[in-house]
């Protein structure tokens, strides 16, 4: 089994944090995304969408998409549970992870990809107006989450889950996207300081 990893890029990092939380070791194949390694012939043959991470199983099966890879490892190694513990809890984790992906991580990524000079050759065409539009969208979601986190410890409930991993990485990604979280969002900041202090965060 091999995991083709893109380092600190948000989606590859979601998997590496997940694996650390699980205590799972996997053979890592580093891919230099700065040198467009994810667009190489080898990686394109494994994932024609030219995205990382990519998990290649011993039987040759290729699994892409961060959450799909994490689900594979959750099924193989159910403890500690990071996708919920029963039907209701699993549904809530799924709901919150999707909310964070669609309403927060996507907005932060759009701001970064369409505004950062380093992404000029990646995001063709860059649309600066779209990048700017997404900055307040990310902040609106954080305001929403500040209210939610006033009543619970983690994103999806009382237990740390993949939803926390996704949101933590999106929060970290705000720095290169040049989005600042307002200090008055005290519950978001309390949550972030706690999750980013976990050994898996690797900060």
CA angle 150, 15, 142 (to 5 degrees): 25
- d(CA 23, CA 40) in angstroms, rounded, equals 30
81: in domain: no
CATH number of the domain to which 61 belongs: 3.40.30.10
193 and 96 in a common domain: yes
Residues 142-159: pLDDT tens digits? 999 999 999 999 999 999
Handedness of CA 36, 42, 43, 44 (dihedral sign): positive
CATH number of the domain to which 196 belongs: 1.20.1050.10
Pairing verdict, β 27-30 and 2-5: parallel
Pairing verdict, β 27-30 and 54-56: unpaired
For residue 2, the cross-strand partners are 27, 56
The domain boundary residue, chosen from 76, 95, 114: 76
Residues 28-66: pLDDT tens digits? 999 998 888 898 999 999 999 999 999 999 999 999 999
**Considering its fold, how many domains does the chain have in total?**
2
- Give the range of the structural domain holding residue 94, as residue numbers without chain letter: 87-201
For the chain, the average pLDDT equals 95
130 and 48 in a common domain: no
196 sits in which H/E element: helix 186-196
The domain boundary residue, chosen from 76, 109, 131: 76
Phi/psi region, residue 7 (left: phi>0; alpha: psi -120 to 50; beta: rest), is left
Residues 70-124: pLDDT tens digits? 999 999 999 999 999 999 999 999 999 999 999 999 999 999 999 888 887 777 8
CA 199 to chain centre: 17
Task: Determine how many CB atoms are found less than 10 A away from the CB of residue 117.
Answer: 6
User: How would residue 170 be classed by pLDDT, with cut points 50, 70 and 90?
Assistant: very high
Structure confidence at residue 203 (pLDDT): 53
CA 127 to chain centre: 23
Structure confidence at residue 114 (pLDDT): 94
195: in domain: yes
Structure confidence at residue 171 (pLDDT): 98
Largest distance between two CA atoms of the chain: 51
Structure confidence at residue 122 (pLDDT): 79
CA angle 110, 115, 121 (to 5 degrees): 90
């Amino acid at each position: 089994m091999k995991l083709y990893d893109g380092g600190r890029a948000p989606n590859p990092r979601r998997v590496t944090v997940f694996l650390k939380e699980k205590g799972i070791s996997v053979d890592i194949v580093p891919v230099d995304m700065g040198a467009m390694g994810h667009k190489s012939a080898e990686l394109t043959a494994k994932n024609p969408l030219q995205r990382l991470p990519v998990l290649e199983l011993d039987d040759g099966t290729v699994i892409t998409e961060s959450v799909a890879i994490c689900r594979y490892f959750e099924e193989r190694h159910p403890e500690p549970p990071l996708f919920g513990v029963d039907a209701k809890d699993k549904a809530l984790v799924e709901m919150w992870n999707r909310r964070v992906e669609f309403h927060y991580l996507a907005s932060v990524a759009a701001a970064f990809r369409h505004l950062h000079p380093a992404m000029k050759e990646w995001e063709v065409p860059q649309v600066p107006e779209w990048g700017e539009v997404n900055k307040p969208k990310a902040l609106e979601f954080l305001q929403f989450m500040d209210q939610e986190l006033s009543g619970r410890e983690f994103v999806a409930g009382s237990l740390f889950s993949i939803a926390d991993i996704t949101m933590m990485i999106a929060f970290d990604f705000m720095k290169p996207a040049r989005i600042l979280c307002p200090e008055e969002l005290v519950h978001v900041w309390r949550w972030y300081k706690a999750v980013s202090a976990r050994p898996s965060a690797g900060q």
